[in-house]
A = this chain, B = another copy of it.
Amino acid sequence: MELIDGKKVSDTVKQEITQKVTEIINNGGKRPHLAAILVGNDGGSITYVNHKVKACEQIGFTSTLQKYEDTVSEEELLAKIAEFNANNDIDGFIVQLPLPKHINEQKIIEAIDPTKDVDGFHPVNVGKMVIGLPCFKSATPAGIIKLLSFYNIETSGKKCVVIGRSNIVGKPMSVLLSQKGYPGDCTVTVCHSRTQNLAEECAQADIVIAALGSPEFVTKDMVKNGAVVIDVGTTRVPSDKTKSGWKLKGDVKFDEVSPKCSYITPVPGGVGPMTIVSLLQNTLDAAANK
């Protein structure tokens, strides 16, 4: 069993991006600039955004963090998005989700200029991804693809089961893995809450992508010997062993599943770190495409 070290891969990619930023600056170019809009005081959202800002500093990007109280109006957010769209110094920006209920999330997403939509959530980018055109790919699926290729994991003709059909992970993951080329050419099955015999489906898979958000859902009887298991779950569960009072749990029961795997991602330290570097990579691409 080999552990897929997301921290190591993300550090490698960050070094590559840092190198490219240095080249851009040495050639008289502009520092790539990622902006983020954060609404409210959700602990998870604040942590994610802070990680993103910190990562920008590490690799030499400019970053802007625009915070709002959760009472902010939709109009105010849309005005800020219009401002970021028009601001030539900003190469890409994100609006950290989820947003308060009084704000139409989809309207916010669609207000972002697709050429600056480095989260890859705009319908244009989702559509281009499905069609197989150049686009900003959603960060988590793009990160998983990078992990598979970094470890030279064979995908062509492999049976892949994606558990979960969310717009930000399950659906794009299934599309990317079934597309022509590497990493891709998998025979992909998407499983979800209505799937019958999910354990049986899963047990046939060469590659399992667990992205349902249910801690320790995938058990050893659901995984065949030698499978590659990618755990996208990051549920906060109470813990008396951490200062914060919680810890992250994946969708896979790691202790019992990992001995059966050829490769497996841990939680934390697997897919998580890749999500941020995909966002940075998208921002670098956005800057290059201008």
A59-67, A126-134, A240-248: which one contacts chain B? A126-134
Query: Which segment of A188-196, A212-220, A270-278 sits at the interface?
Result: A188-196
Expressed in whole angstroms, the Cα–Cα distance for A185 and B122 within the complex equals 24
A45 at the interface (CB under 8 A from B): no
Interface residue A187 (Cβ < 8 Å from any Cβ of B): yes
User: Can you name 21 A-B residue pairings with CB atoms under 8 Å?
Assistant: A122-B127, A123-B125, A123-B126, A123-B127, A125-B127, A126-B127, A126-B130, A127-B127, A127-B128, A127-B129, A127-B130, A130-B171, A157-B194, A157-B195, A174-B174, A174-B190, A178-B192, A187-B190, A187-B191, A187-B192, A188-B189
Q: Look across to chain B and name the residue whose beta carbon is closest to the beta carbon of A175.
A: B171
Copies in the complex: 2
Residues of chain B within 8 A of A175, CB atoms compared: 130, 171, 175
A179 touches B165 (CB 8 A): yes
- Chain A contributes a number of interface residues (CB within 8 A of B) equal to 35
**A285 part of interface (Cβ distance < 8 Å):** no
User: Chain A 146-185 against B: per-residue CB contact (8 Å), 1 yes, 0 no?
Assistant: 0000000000110100000101000100110011100001
Let me know if A201 and B178 touch, CB within 8 A. no
Query: A117 → chain B, closest Cβ, in Å?
Result: 11
- Shortest CB–CB separation between residue A68 and chain B, in angstroms? 24
Residues B188 and A190 in contact, CB atoms below 8 Å apart: yes
Question: Contacts A130-B127, A171-B175 known; A189 to B192 CB distance under 8 Å?
Answer: no
- What residues of chain B lie closer than 8 Å to A289, measured between beta carbons? none
* Cα distance, A127 to B122, chains bound together (Å): 8
Contact A187–B189 (Cβ < 8 Å): yes
A188 contacts across to B, CB distance below 8 A = 189-190
Q: Across the interface, name the chain B residue whose C-beta is closest to A135.
A: B123
Asked if A187 contacts B171 (CB within 8 A), the reply is no
Q: How far is the CA of A167 from the CA of B129 in the complex (A)?
A: 11
In the bound complex, residues from chain B placing their C-beta under 8 Å from that of A185 are: 192, 194
A126 proximity list for chain B (CB < 8 A):
123, 126-127, 130-131
* A191 CA / B186 CA spacing, docked (Å): 8
A130 to B171, CA, bound (A): 8
A165 partner residues in chain B, CB cutoff 8 A? 178-180
Q: What is the bound-complex CA distance between A152 and B201, given in angstroms?
A: 26
Q: Which residues of chain B come closer than 8 Å to A196, judged between CB atoms?
A: 157, 159, 187
- For A122, list chain B residues within 8 Å (CB): 127
CB within 8 Å of B: which of A196-250? 196, 201
A124 in contact (CB, < 8 A): yes
Residues of chain B within 8 A of A47, CB atoms compared: none
A228 CB to nearest chain B CB (Å):
16
A88 beta carbon closer than 8 Å to chain B: no
